[in-house]
Chains A and B, each alone.
Chain A
Amino acid sequence: MRLAAPRLWIPASAVFLAAALLTGALVGPVDLGALNVVHATFAHVFGLHSPLSGADDAILWQLRLPRVVLGALVGGTLAAAGAAYQGVFRNPLADPYLLGAAAGAGLGATLVAAYAPAGGLAGDLLPISAFFGAALAVVAAYALGRSAGAAAGPAALVLAGVTIASFFTALQTFVQQQNVETVQEVYSWLLGRLATSGWREVGIIAPYAAAAWLILLGHRRLLDVLAVGDEEAAALGVNVGRVRLFVVVAATIATAAAVAVSGLIAFVGIIVPHTIRLLVGGSYRLLLPLSVIVGAGFLVFADVIARTIMSPAELPIGVVTAFFGAPFFAVVLHTSKRRV
């Protein structure tokens, strides 16, 4: 089911992303107009005069665009990290949280919710604590997996990730049980949300996302080599352990940054790469760039649904990605005549 020539996929996905960004900027209680939105955005980027009134301009530049851009950064990062994890672990079920990033971030967030002094400080501390929790969990899992020896291969790392995740989840549950009043705050964070205060969150994640995208895209050919197995990759002259380390570090740091600003958004890291695999093929040369672009567009669309479908209330975005993503993926899986 190859739908089009491979070279057409990149421009097609770019159109999808552009449509998502425009939709995200347009949809909301106040009608801004498509032309004005595009015009005003360029005006801000290039320091020109915005055609919108002061209030409308603030809605666009301080509320909608930061949220749209944040969604694109988080979505692209999670999808690319998921694809990369599936590659280095040769495991179709791998997602960016495989090595314990989610459990670590959950513990970090819970600790802040339970013990940090109430008030504005907790809001600032939570992303930082979640970031370090995620990073710590993955470092621990990596060290544990490597201690089993390089010959044990990716399976040892995956098992180490499961071990660390269970342990961190146990700690998190314990802390939560001791501080029952934090359950709601932690729970809503765990379901994922794209809440922004101006461009602050974008600023937090952008450097990590940019670095991770560059590093992962740079490794896309080597991820194809890893697909033939550790030993054959080594026979082709590749230092498999080093490639796996670089890819895991890049994907993990970016995932931790995404988790810090948006909570745990499930499913994007699985569904986006696999949909692309089924439609386009499994070579990472195309899979990784497409995962970034499509993942970005997908999450922006999901966020539009999350904040409009029950307006003015907001659905957790993780619910939307799974609720709409799962049936879509089921259709792709069913109509595809290929094996996953």
Chain B
Amino acid sequence: MNYWPLLGVAIVVAGFAWRLNPALVVVVAGIASGLLAGLTVPDLLALLGRSFVSNRTLLVIVLTLPTIGLLERAGLRERAHAWILGLRRLTFARLLIAYLALRQIVSMFGLTNVAGHAQTVRPLLAPMAEAAAGKIDPALDDDELERIKALAAATDNVGLFFGEDVFIAFGAVLLIQAFFSQHGIEMDPRSIAIWALPTAIAAFVIHALRIAWFQRGIGKPGRARRGSIAQETSDVAH
């Protein structure tokens, strides 16, 4: 076994740790790993090019940007903000927990693309969460607003990940089935998806509790201190 290509992994870890530009780090790691495995330069270039274009699906989401951009210019985020302020009983925690539940249920039916960071989090959920937090403490500082927006994005991730696996036609379930089938173990996709259900419920409970806990701390001193650490480190980021 040739262990040298593992150096590519080390390059990725070191590159991220030193906060070099991730795009550059990733390509350098790929080139290093390929050369250390004994690929020739022409073969490596072809592998890079072919894998890159075969993953174009990952960028289809940019098609949402013109709509989002036009609506933002026309005041979408301001409207989302005002709408939440008008709903007195919709608290920060209720908003995010309801979104989490909705995202999980919709993903369970295989509808993973209906929501996401570009489609729903930036234009709708993040400004709504800011507005709902503003009802608790109108004088939130930048660090706290940043943490609120990050939690909104995290909530979308948790809802997506631990909903989609319960859907039988989802890629993960089919991948598991295909893998075991190759190794002589046949199983029904339903029997795999069902075992993702306990984790889906646990994910909802854990993350909902964390959202409720987060709400208790909004506007309290001490939060701000922890937030300022993030600010110090962010200067060297880009």
Do A and B come together as binding partners?
no
